[in-house]
A and B are shown apart, each in its own frame.
Chain A
Amino acid sequence: MSRPQIRQAPPEPEAAPPDLAALLSQVARGDHRAFELVYAELSGPVYGVVRQVLRDPAQSEEVAQEVLLEIWRTASRFDPDRGSAAAWALTIAHRRAVDRVRSENACSRREQKAAEPEPAEDDVVETVAATLEYQRVRRCMDGLTGLQRESIKLAYYSGYSYPQVAQLLGVAPGTVKTRIRDGLIRMRDCMEVTW
């Protein structure tokens, strides 16, 4: 089942990714060239996570644009001592997407969306299937209990609050809080996240 040639792929891609933290400090000084490179690096993950939460392509595009512009605007506030540049940016992206979901009458819109077939799912999977990160996340997700995995997926990828997740899974909110934390800790250790 396991394919050694995939498993043994070098942990880092051959071409060293640009140093996002250094680029962000250039961006903070108004460097548009650096911002282009930041855009190239982050637009995919930003758009991907926003789209994952919002589903609607037009809305996702609008929110992703706002997020990327916010990265330009607030680059001076990024503090490399407090985490990676990607985490800083993707925190903004996820928060914005969730804000959008929870504002307005998001509930009715989501129900409507849920009723439709979701062509989005396929192309999401297709685009990411090849990436190394996806493989890692997938593998580490497999190591979680069912409740941990579902709680994390519903919270992060669907943008539900933990009480909503609890309701969907038919368990107590306190249980979901604990499972999300335990699951993430397990993911952190599995992916050897160092922070």
Chain B
Amino acid sequence: VKAMRDDLHVLTGSYVLDAISDAEREEFERHLQHCPTCETEVRGLRETAARLALACAMTPPARMERRVLAAAHQTRQLPPLSADRPRRALPRHRSLPRARAFPGLLAVLAAAASMVVAVALGITELSAQHQLDRARATSIARVVTASDAHVETAPTSAGGNVTVVTSAALREAVVSSSGMASLPSSRVYQVWVLSPSGARSAGLMHGSSLLAAIRPGDRIGITVEPAGGTARPTTTPVAVLPV
């Protein structure tokens, strides 16, 4: 047993450099919880590894900033871990089979979060609406994290800004707004996909809207309409953005 523990202890370095297998990592993290010496060493070596990363900093492409900041607006954050729960030695990063697994992970986390809310409200069963919201959140995450995601932001004549994130490959777009004037209950903001063949309603604006079947050259418009929305835009758009 002693020999095995020594063997595990030597893994501190390989562990912080991610040079071990998933199985070894799990075993080592279990070991860490009972080995304060190892934990202290891991902390120091992890800070050291961070210096290796800082030493190779590179300016990323400028478009990355717009994408990440826009994606943050569309991404729900994890709640803090409750204080009474024993904390893991380290945040756990499960290996992702593919990048596309990330929105899936988001969906799982969103589901977990809505479970927490459901429990808090005394709701024991997830409603159909929750299921829909979950599917929508997954689709939205897929668009905003797409490698070809294109972001457009414009001020609106109703105040605030509208942001459209489009993935040409997915032919989908996500529209969201912030700071727009609130409307009387008899009025709503309605989203339109504007193309040479006319205006197609993309529903009422609430939170983030997911728009499907987007084509290059389409534009996104937002109008103020009577409650419930209309079949065609009846007012001058408060904002029009290219996709």
Interface positions of A (Cβ within 8 A of B):
28, 30, 32, 35-36, 39, 43-49, 51-52, 58, 61-66, 68-69, 72-77, 79, 82-84, 86-88, 90-96, 98-100, 102-104, 123-124, 127-128, 131, 133-134, 136-138, 152, 155-157, 159-162, 165, 174, 176-178, 180-185, 187-188, 191, 193-195
Contact = CB atoms under 8 A, between A and B. Distances in A.
A156 B52 contact: yes
Contact of A87 (B50, B69, B73): B50
A95 B58 contact: no
A83 B91 CA distance: 12
Nearest to A153: B52
A185 B93 CA distance: 24
B16 A184 contact: yes
Contact of B58 (A35, A48, A68, A94): A48
Nearest to B76: A73
B11 to A, nearest CB: 6
A39 B51 contact: no
Interface stretch (B78-86, B180-188, B226-234): B78-86
Given A39-B69, A47-B64, A72-B77, A86 B54 contact: yes
B48 interface: yes
A176 B12 CA distance: 12
A44 B46 contact: no
Interface string B59-87: 11100110111011101111111000001
Interface residues of B, number: 60
Given A92-B91, A177-B11, 16 more contacts: A49-B53, A68-B64, A73-B76, A73-B106, A82-B43, A91-B90, A102-B95, A103-B95, A133-B51, A152-B52, A155-B14, A161-B20, A181-B13, A185-B44, A191-B48, A195-B47
A180 B87 CA distance: 28
Contacts of B20: 161-162
Nearest to A51: B58
Contacts of A76: 77-81
Interface stretch (B96-104, B119-127, B198-206): B96-104
Given A45-B53, A127-B58, A137-B51, A95 B18 contact: yes
B55 A32 contact: no
